Amino acid sequence: MSEDVGFTQLTATGGEHSPTVGDLRRLSAVPVELSVEIGRARMSVGETLELREGSVVTLDRMAGEPVDLLVNGTPIARGEVVVIDEQFGLRLTQVLGAGAAGDAPPAGGAADQAPVAAGALQEPGPPPTADSVPDPAPESAPQPVAAA
């Protein structure tokens, strides 16, 4: 039941059906989901059930560290969070190459998330006052978000 199968030899240019820029342009209208990941945490089901409005969950990233830009769950870049006209934005500081995407933590995998530090689940404190919340920048230029 075995048959001889013939394969076309691939060349350095990608073989007979190498994609051209025109071929890739057909994909330009395909929607993708962009998301920004600021950090991760790992906790038990019991700790999760204890979460209430105002609870604080400590993430595995330090304030000021770059955040990940994900396309359909795959990290493609890193950057810093900015505020533009009262909306969050992301200023890219590093674009990950095809091989470098493995340098960033994979999105959505619970097995590689850092455990929540002891005491990370905190009781809600008093609400912020007008004195503790900074005024938005009057100009529309992107402003880095201050580290807490």
140 lies in some domain: no
The per-residue pLDDT of the chain, averaged, comes to: 73
41 lies in some domain: yes
Q: Which domain holds residue 65?
A: 31-105
14 pLDDT band, cuts 50/70/90, is: low
Q: What is the mean pLDDT of residues 126-148?
A: 49
17 lies in some domain: no
64 lies in some domain: yes
The per-residue pLDDT for range 48-83, each reduced to its tens digit, is 999 999 999 999 999 889 999 999 999 999 999 999
- The first and second tokens of residue 58, run together, are 């400590």
CB atoms within 10 A of CB 90: 19
Please give the torsion angle defined by the CA atoms of residues 130, 134, 139 and 144, in that order, rounded to the nearest 10 degrees.
Answer: -150
138 lies in some domain: no
66 lies in some domain: yes
132 lies in some domain: no
**pTM for this one?**
0.52
112 pLDDT band, cuts 50/70/90, is: very low
Which CATH number characterizes residue 80's domain? 2.30.330.10
Helix, strand, or coil here: 114?
coil
93 lies in some domain: yes
Angstrom CA distances, 85 to 51, 55, 135, 137, 141, stand at 32, 28, 12, 8, 8
